[in-house]
Amino acid sequence: MQQIAGSTCSVTCLDKIPAASDLESHHLVVEVFLDEKLKLEALGAIARFDHWTGPVASLLYGGSATEWAVRSGLGQRLVGFYACPSLEDIHSAELLAGETTRTEALRQVETFFSDLGFSTIICKDRAGGIFPKVLAAMINEAAQMVQLGIAPMEEIDQMMRLAANFPMGPFEWADQIGLDRVLAMLEELSHEYGPLYHPCPWIRRKVDAGHYGKKSGQGFYQYASGGVS
C-alpha cells in the first residue's frame, strides 16, 4: 500500500487507531488494517466521530463490504477494496460496494484511486472479489497437484512463470502473501461458494506449523536473509 500512503493531503491512509483530529482536514479515509480486531476498532472509531462524515475505503481480506459496514457502524459510507498484496508496481484496485453503500461514496473512492493512476474495477460484494479469489484458487489447486504427486512445486512455479508469464509461481506467490492469509481467504471462499474452495490439507498443516512464508522465514520454501535458500 505504499502507493496509497502519503498520496494526497486531502486523504489519510490509516495504519493506526485514529483520533478525531487525524481526520479533520481530510475528505476521505483509506483504512488498511489486516488484523480483524484492529480493523474493527479503527472503523468503529471513525463511525463515532460525529463531525466527520466522509467516505471510508476499507482494505478487505476477510468479510464483505456489507459485513464491515454493519459491524463498524459506518453503513452507507464504507466502500471495500482489494489491491494486489505483493506487487507494488501493479496499480489496480477492485472496489466493492455494500448493500447500503451510497453511490456518491463509491464514486469518491473510485476517483481517488483513478487520480493515483490506478485502474479500478467495480465488482459485486462477494467473497474474494476477482483477483484474490482467482489467486487463492490457483494456489490451492497447485498445492493439491503436489499432494497428488503430479509435479513438484518448483516445477509448477517454473511452468506458470514461463507458460503463463506470471511474475511468480503459485507457491512463490503464497509465500509472499502469507500462507495464513491464503488459508483465511480459502476458508471464506469455501463458506460462501462451497467445497470447490476447501483448503488443501497441506496449506493448513503449514499454517498450523507457523510456516507462513517469507514473513516467518519458512513457507513452501525456506528463506534465508537474501531470499530462497
Residue 223: its pLDDT value, please?
Answer: 94
Q: Tell me the whole-structure pTM to 2 decimals.
A: 0.83
SS (H, E, C) 153-188: HHHHHHHHHHHCCCCCCHHHHHHHHCHHHHHHHHHH
Give the pLDDT mean for 177-201.
95
d(C-alpha 92, C-alpha 107), whole Å: 16
pLDDT tens-digit profile of 88-123? 566 889 999 999 999 999 999 999 999 989 999 999
- The residue assigned the cell 482467482 is 134
Give all domains of the chain, ordered by start, each with its CATH number. Answer: 11-123 (3.40.50.720), 131-228 (1.10.1040.10)
* Confidence band, pLDDT 50/70/90 cuts, at residue 190: very high
Give the pLDDT mean for 21-30.
84
Q: What is the mean pLDDT of the chain?
A: 89
Q: Taking 90 as the threshold, does the pLDDT of residue 139 lie above it?
A: yes
pLDDT tens-digit profile of 45-60? 999 998 899 999 999 9
Q: Using the CB atoms, write b or e for 53-86: b if 16+ within 10 Å.
A: ebbbbbbbbebbbbbbbbbbebebbbbbbbbbbb
* Confidence band, pLDDT 50/70/90 cuts, at residue 2: very low
Residues 6 or more apart from 123 whose CB is under 8 A from it? 94, 95, 96, 129, 130
Q: Taking 90 as the threshold, does the pLDDT of residue 17 lie above it?
A: no
